Amino acid sequence: MGTSGATFTFQGGAVAPGESKNFRYTVSETYLGDAVRIPVTIINGKKPGPSVFLSAAAHGDELNGVEVVREIAQTGLSGGDLTDISGTLVCLPVLNVPAFIAQQRYLPIYDRDLNRSFPGSESSTSSKRMAHRIFTNFIAPCDLGVDFHTSTRGRTNVVHVRADMTDEAVARLAHAFATNVIISSDGPTGSLRREASDAGTPTITVEMGKAHRFQRPLIDRALEGVESVFAEFEITDAEQVRWPGWRTVIATSEDKTWLRADAGGLVDMHFEQGALVHEGDVICTITDPFLVDTESVTAPFTGLLVGVLENPLVYPGNPICHLVKLTDRTKRAVQLDQDAVDRS
């Protein structure tokens, strides 16, 4: 692994060691034939080291990661710039520019999901052509990558990593980001992290917060995670990899579940995201407009609420919360953390 101080090249340009460039790169065209261009920042260090991509807004309404990538590219980490890094940093703050402009999740072109279109094709659909331009020029040349996401509209997530923990290189990257929760899976076909990892660029997804906004505490937490990754791979001179205090790796489908509404109505959540709930706890109740008919949603096991509903209106079958199972040791650690927060 490592660029050995090499020039980073892409179709139409190059960034030499010791150089930094901000530019917009054409990935498609509009109905009027105007260029659709994504913003790119490449910082190529003078010293040898790995090439890393940081990407966000593959779904156009997921904004927290945009600010994470933008701040790293333009202001560095911990108040210092990145001119003295070892290796190359490829920053892609807005992958899905058409959806970003429209402030919607999917590409306005036939409502396609860019994050199911990788690695793409230069002769296929519009979304796969766009994915191909991004993947071949800025993803495949890298040694590792971090792709930032938020929950979809109407829900929110705690900061956590999704990664294929059966892949040793991916697992190293996931641990380095230092979140409390890692959900192990190889990811959906066509997703950036799965296709990049399969192509030899170990990649993780970071889920954080909700769509359509900047959430400063989560952005700051993600910046710490990136700093920890840079320490692990010796990209910067940061002293050590962070330890989150406790960690659980969710490796099987039996250790996680989406709880869904069995009735339509208005939801009253009794716990917030990140809360520890015990088996049998009533997580929320669903009522009709007259507060007559009530449906309770209970926890099938003791665990952590990684994601919860924010829009209080549901149809039967709508997801309400994402619950992951905890070991007894992790339960005690989580309880101590939450007790400390309650006392503060």
Q: Is the dihedral of CA 248, 250, 254, 258 positive or negative?
A: positive
Provide DSSP, 118-168: TT--TTS-HHHHHHHHHIIIIITTSSEEEEEE-PPTTEEEEEEEEE-TTSH
- Give the separation between CA 220 and CA 308, rounded to whole angstroms: 21
Q: Higher pLDDT residue, 27 or 5?
A: 27
- Give the separation between CA 137 and CA 53, rounded to whole angstroms: 11
Task: Tell whether 52 is covered by a domain.
Answer: yes
Same domain, 27 and 72: yes
Which residues contact residue 290 at a Cβ distance below 8 angstroms, ignoring those fewer than 6 apart?
none
Same domain, 235 and 264: no
The residue among 222, 248, 274 that closes a domain is 248
Q: Which of 228, 208, 204 is nearest to 218 (CA)?
A: 208
Note the pLDDT tens digit of each residue in 272-315: 999 999 999 999 999 999 988 899 999 999 999 999 999 999 99
Q: How many CB atoms lie within 10 A of CB 118?
A: 26
CA 233 to chain centroid, in Å, comes to 19
Note the pLDDT tens digit of each residue in 102-118: 999 999 987 799 999 99
Which residues contact residue 121 at a Cβ distance below 8 angstroms, ignoring those fewer than 6 apart?
128, 129, 132
Q: What's the whole-number mean pLDDT along residues 6-21?
A: 95
Task: Tell whether 1 is covered by a domain.
Answer: no
Same domain, 158 and 259: no
Instruction: Label the pairing between strands 319-325 and 13-15.
Output: unpaired
pLDDT of residue 80: 62
**Domain assignment of residue 133, given as a range:** 8-248
